[in-house]
Structure 1
Amino acid sequence: MSASAKQNSIIADPSLAKDGHLKIDWVRAHMPVLNRIRDRFEKEQPFKGLKVAISLHLEAKTAYLAKVVQAGGADVTITGSNPLSTQDDVCAALVEDGITVFAKYNPSPEEYKQLLIHTLETKPDLIIDDGGDLVTILHSERQDLLAQVRGGAEETTTGILRLKAMEKEGQLKFPMVAVNDAFCKYLFDNRYGTGQSVWDGINRTTNLVVAGKTVVVVGYGWCGKGVAMRAKGLGANVIVTEIDAIKAVEAYMDGFAVMPMVEAAKVGDYFVTVTGNRDVIRGEHYDVMKDGAILSNAGHFDVEVNKPELEARSVSKRTVRRNIEEYELKDGRKVYVLAEGRLVNLAAGDGHPAEIMDMTFALQAMSLKYVNDRYKEIGSKVVNVPYELDEQVARFKLESLGIGIDALTDEQKAYLDSWVEH
């Protein structure tokens, strides 16, 4: 164990490390792409002598990413990106493995922010962010720590929106790779990962049947597509609400009902928000909801379900089951909110399957190396993951599955490159 990691870390309970190691061992056995990158990093040492700060949902799969970055020579510090998704046993295991951890389950808002600041005070050269919290703090109240940062990678849609707003205003001071926009992220992580893990979280929390119920999916981006697809597979009637006409047509042609939220609110049994925006379920919707409606959020921040407006309409609030808050409205109807309106798949579950995060975290690791190798030439802007890295992750995934694909012949390549009539 690293003495400095043990001395400097802030975690809930070091005695939980044994259980954390078991969790990390399990996901490592199901992350062959990341294992392959770890082997490469151990030989090449791309981060030797560098400090890396990571802010992600701190559970076992994230822990293994941190260990892969550490295997590349980095001095790694990690914190959580959501108060309710941190797993204390995993934190304890990482400390034993020489990684500095500033994270614990369910800290107060003030303590949560301070843990982020502690992470940045290690003066990192590179960062991996989720939702843009580290970058935002660096560019606002802790600009004294900016100079050393070479760049980093961002995990989520929400974080990329924040980064692009900073870039547009000329405020971004170092390059960030938009991992969320990579094919191997949104096609698989956002669709299949979110689709499965959201329903894992809802089902384990409520222990109620989905078949025959009406599910309202708020937002039909790649995450919404996955949530709707899995709801249909569970036997639900699915309604999609959207603000984008093209996505609304897509949802309709995928076989789902499409209507405004104020109409969907009248008939929904389950609601899942996946928009990245605020107040998509709010007062006017609570006013018409059925008794027993269940609300959940799968967006990064807990602002999609407007809880203050729900509380203002309620005469009582109580926790009726772990991660389920019951709001009794003035007319006697009851509405339930899962996981305090935070990410239901992580705050009330274990997040995406390991095989899915294998691809996403492989992109993170490779993007971190990419930005470290080229941060001077990239400049202070948001850049996409290079296609060759994206494709490499896909090829590693296929190889791990024992699947082969075809390659173009020289004649086929020449045909595609020619404009002359054949």
Structure 2
Amino acid sequence: MTTSRIADPSLAPSGANKIRWAWQYMPVLSLLAKKYRDEKPLVGCRLVACLHLEAKTACLLRTLKELGAEVVAAGSNPLSTQDDVCAALVEEGVHVFSRRGMTSEEYFDSLRDALRGGADVLIDDGCDLVAMVHEEFPELIPRIRGGCEETTTGVKRLRALDREGRLQFPMIAVNDAYSKYLFDNRYGTGQSVLDALLRTTNLLIAGRTVVVAGYGWCGKGVATRARGMGATVVVVEVDPHRALEALMDGHHVAPMMEAARLGDVFVTVTGNTRVIRGEHMAVMKDGAILANAGHFDVEISIPDLEGLSERWESFRPNVRTYVLKDGRHLHLLGEGRLVNLAAGDGHPVEIMDLSFAVQLLSALYIWTTRLAPGVSNVPEELDLQVGRLKLESLGIALDELTEEQRLYLDSWKED
């Protein structure tokens, strides 16, 4: 059985430097590694992960291995994999199956290779790993104790699988932990998407109209950062409460057909399919920029874009300029994949320190606790532990309730 398959093992020194840089800014993960290092609670666990394979993820995978697990990793996006980081991980004993620029067929083959040795615990990003186990590797299910899922899209897919009565083992919705979505989805996505837009296009955000499709936590982050850089923000929503929230946050709200005529930059953050379609592209400005920050590359309809175009050209890395039959140009970033990772370095290190700390604690919980099949929340005490450790690393102390205050909050009386 192949133990790893990566692009170039000689790139390991470059990857090791990236990992060392990230580790300096991950105090919560460091504190947890220090706490559990001697105990090695994951000894005997074969942990299979499908994640974005870059330096911050490498810090999580190394920590899991340090705590005793046999760690196997596949990339969760062909354009987010960093080949030098993969090489550094293999050098440290992590089994890696990924390379940047894989075809879809190679991507799924990598997941299969990661699963062929069996699994005790899964860590997933988008639910592809869990879906493959149920569809192609049902013989592995009796051994699997459960897993963790860190994305909004993945949790939605898990809940759909659970509703159909088909989810055969417990999965913890890491995405729904406060320590994850309040910071990762909002501040992480907001900064990393704008970073990817800036480094990919080298264009000014101030004065432009940025259309944000979806006003969940990720969309709020993108809209806030774009507005902070001087853009006019138009939000497209299907949910009335989120639309009202966007309006009261100071953004314009419009349906996509109207927003398509106004936007200079479009960012989809919905987790849904065909959010920007041919009829929208047909009325966009010449030179409009299209970017997706949802997990899968289905939010911007690339077949529709190709159908409207004579050809595409590339003048900058991660930018495809489609020349439309009427002479207009539309610029697609990162092939329509997750733009902050396909065309950038992903979320800031300190943000992923929180998210990966939740992943680590959830993996430990799954390994040591027998849970019923289904989707479970991160236990509150673990979620709070991550927040406390982060504050501790910053030298910030919390106030405490007095006994009088506790009694008051527990009582229905006013005195």
Instruction: Identify the residue that residue 283 of structure 2 maps to in structure 1.
Output: 288
Distance 1:284 1:85 in 2: 30
Residues 111-147 of structure 1, C-alpha deviations (whole Å, 9 max, x = no match): 1110010011121100100000110000001212222
Alignment partner for residue 5 of structure 2, among 3, 10, 30? 10
Does structure 1 conserve the Cα–Cα contact (< 8 Å) formed by 2:213 and 2:235?
yes
Q: How does 1:270-281 map to 2 (within 5 A)?
A: 270-281=265-276
Residue 381 of structure 2 corresponds to residue 368 of structure 1: no
Deviation at 1:44, TM superposition (A): 2.2
TM-score (norm 1): 0.97
Instruction: Identify the residue that residue 415 of structure 1 maps to in structure 2.
Output: 408
Distance 1:326 1:144 in 2: 46
Instruction: Identify the residue that residue 162 of structure 1 maps to in structure 2.
Output: 157
Deviation at 1:70, TM superposition (A): 0.7
Aligned length: 415
Supply the AA of the counterpart residue of 1:235: G
Residue 359 of structure 2 corresponds to residue 395 of structure 1: no
Distance 1:31 1:272 in 2: 29
Distance 1:104 1:146 in 2: 27
Supply the AA of the counterpart residue of 2:412: W
Residue 340 of structure 2 corresponds to residue 345 of structure 1: yes
Secondary structure of 1:147's aligned partner: helix
Does structure 2 conserve the Cα–Cα contact (< 8 Å) formed by 1:179 and 1:185?
yes
Deviation at 1:420, TM superposition (A): 2.3
Secondary structure of 1:215's aligned partner: strand
Distance 2:218 2:412 in 1: 39
Q: How does 1:207-356 map to 2 (within 5 A)?
A: 207-356=202-351
Secondary structure of 2:412's aligned partner: coil
Supply the AA of the counterpart residue of 1:403: I
Distance 2:378 2:268 in 1: 27
Does structure 1 conserve the Cα–Cα contact (< 8 Å) formed by 2:211 and 2:267?
yes
Alignment partner for residue 150 of structure 1, among 138, 145, 148? 145
Deviation at 1:177, TM superposition (A): 0.3
Runs (5+) with no aligned partner, structure 1: none
Distance 1:172 1:40 in 2: 33
Q: CA RMSD in A?
A: 0.9
Secondary structure of 1:53's aligned partner: strand
Instruction: Identify the residue that residue 37 of structure 2 maps to in structure 1.
Output: 42
Supply the AA of the counterpart residue of 1:304: E
Secondary structure of 1:44's aligned partner: coil
Supply the AA of the counterpart residue of 1:337: L
Does structure 2 conserve the Cα–Cα contact (< 8 Å) formed by 1:215 and 1:270?
yes
Instruction: Identify the residue that residue 357 of structure 1 maps to in structure 2.
Output: 352
Residue 173 of structure 2 corresponds to residue 178 of structure 1: yes
Residues 267-289 of structure 1, C-alpha deviations (whole Å, 9 max, x = no match): 10000000000000001101110
Residue 77 of structure 2 corresponds to residue 79 of structure 1: no
Deviation at 1:411, TM superposition (A): 1.0
Residues 198-228 of structure 1, C-alpha deviations (whole Å, 9 max, x = no match): 0111110000111000000000000000000
Distance 1:270 1:351 in 2: 19
Instruction: Identify the residue that residue 100 of structure 2 maps to in structure 1.
Output: 105
Instruction: Identify the residue that residue 386 of structure 1 maps to in structure 2.
Output: 379
Supply the AA of the counterpart residue of 1:137: M
TM-score (norm 2): 0.99
Distance 1:252 1:421 in 2: 37
Distance 2:391 2:308 in 1: 52
Distance 1:382 1:190 in 2: 20
Distance 2:91 2:173 in 1: 31
Secondary structure of 2:132's aligned partner: helix
Does structure 2 conserve the Cα–Cα contact (< 8 Å) formed by 1:41 and 1:68?
no
Does structure 1 conserve the Cα–Cα contact (< 8 Å) formed by 2:194 and 2:225?
yes
Which is further off, 7-16 or 72-81?
A: 7-16
Deviation at 1:72, TM superposition (A): 1.1
Instruction: Identify the residue that residue 58 of structure 1 maps to in structure 2.
Output: 53
What percent of counterpart residues are identical? Answer: 58
Distance 2:94 2:325 in 1: 50
Does structure 2 conserve the Cα–Cα contact (< 8 Å) formed by 1:197 and 1:353?
yes
Distance 1:241 1:109 in 2: 30
Distance 2:13 2:54 in 1: 14
Alignment partner for residue 24 of structure 2, among 6, 12, 29? 29
